[in-house]
Structure 1
Amino acid sequence: MIKLNIPIAPVPASRPRVTRTGHAYDTKQYSQFKRDVKYWVSFNYKDELIEHKPIMIDYTFYRPIQSSVSKKEHDRRKNNEVLPIVKPDLDNYVKAMQDCLTGFVIGDDNMVVDSHARKRYSEEPHIEVEITELGD
C-alpha cells in the first residue's frame, strides 16, 4: 500500500480552454496545481512506478474553510459536522489527481479498477491518497 499526504490545497480539473486558432490549454490555476503536485510527488515518492496491475485508490480532499463564515460555522466545518456540498464536484478533484499521479506513481489511470473519494473541510488544506495493488 502507498500512502501520500500531499500538503497542497486541492484544485479541480478544468476543461481545456480553446483559442480561436484551435490551440487548447489549461487554466493557470490548474496548470500550477499539476506542476506543484508532480514536483511534490517526484521528491517524496521514491518507489517503483506501479504498472500493469489493477489498483484501488482512496482519496480524501481537504478543502479550505471559507473565511466568510461565522466562528460557530467555522468550528462546525472543522469538526466535519458540515460537509462541503458546494462546487467543485468531487469527480473533478479525482480527475486532477489521476492526471498528476500518472507517470509518477501509476503507469496509467486505466489501471484504476476501484476508487473511493470524499471531500472535507480543513484549516490546513491537503490531499490524502492511498493506493492498493489488487493483484496481477
Structure 2
Amino acid sequence: MSLVIELVVYGEPVPAARPRFNRNGHAYDPSKSRAYKQYVSLEASKQYHGDLIGRKQLVVRIAIYRPIQTSVSRIEHARRAQNIHRPIVKPDTSNYVKLIEDALTGVIWEDDNCIVDLSASKYYSDDPRIEVTVTEAGGMK
C-alpha cells in the first residue's frame, strides 16, 4: 500500500527567519521561528505515529493559509476567502517551506533530502493553518 501522511497544524504560520549570531559567532534561530518550529514538530508527532521515513523518495505538498487582515473591506475579505486574491507579499513561500521541512525532520522523515518532489502554495483564510501531505513517489517519468 502506498504511503500517505496528512497533517494539519492550526494557528498562524510563521516563516523561517534568518539565523542570528551570538558574540561567539554561533548561529541560532530567532525565538519566534524556533517556537513555531517546535510547535509544528509537536503537532506532527501527535498526528503521525508511524516509523521515521528513511530511504524512500517522498512527494510533499504544503498549503499555507495566512490570516485575512481585519483592515480589508468586506469585498476584499470575500475575494481572499474565495482564493480570488492570494498572498503575493512577504514572507516568501520558500521561507515557510524551509521551517516546515526542518520541523518535520526527525518526526516524519530522517532527513529532508528524501523529498524529490515539492509543491507549496499560499492562501488566505479565516482559519490560519498549514496542511502537509506526504506521499511516496511513484514511477515518475
- TM-score normalised by structure 1 residue count: 0.94
- How far apart, in 2, do the equivalents of 1:78 and 1:97 lie? 23
- How far apart, in 1, do the equivalents of 2:132 and 2:47 lie? 13
- How far apart, in 2, do the equivalents of 1:135 and 1:60 lie? 21
My pick for the range that moved more, 3-12 or 117-126, is 3-12
- How far apart, in 1, do the equivalents of 2:135 and 2:44 lie? 17
- Over the aligned positions, Cα root-mean-square deviation in angstroms equals 1.4
- How far apart, in 2, do the equivalents of 1:133 and 1:77 lie? 32
Which ranges of structure 1 fall in alignment gaps of 5 or more residues? none
Superimposed CA distance per residue, residues 49-87 of structure 1 (whole angstroms, 9 cap, x where no aligned partner) = 111111010010000111221121111111111010000
- TM-score normalised by structure 2 residue count: 0.91
Question: Match of 2:39, as an amino acid?
Answer: D
My pick for the range that moved more, 58-67 or 126-135, is 126-135
Aligned to 1:96: 99
Tell me the matched-pair count: 136
Aligned to 1:32: 35
- How far apart, in 2, do the equivalents of 1:47 and 1:12 lie? 27
Question: Match of 1:78, as an amino acid?
Answer: A
- How far apart, in 2, do the equivalents of 1:31 and 1:37 lie? 10
Deviation at 1:28, TM superposition (A): 1.4
2:61 is aligned, of 58, 63, 87, to 58
Aligned to 2:50: 47
My pick for the range that moved more, 13-22 or 58-67, is 13-22
Alignment pair present for 1:130 and 2:133: yes
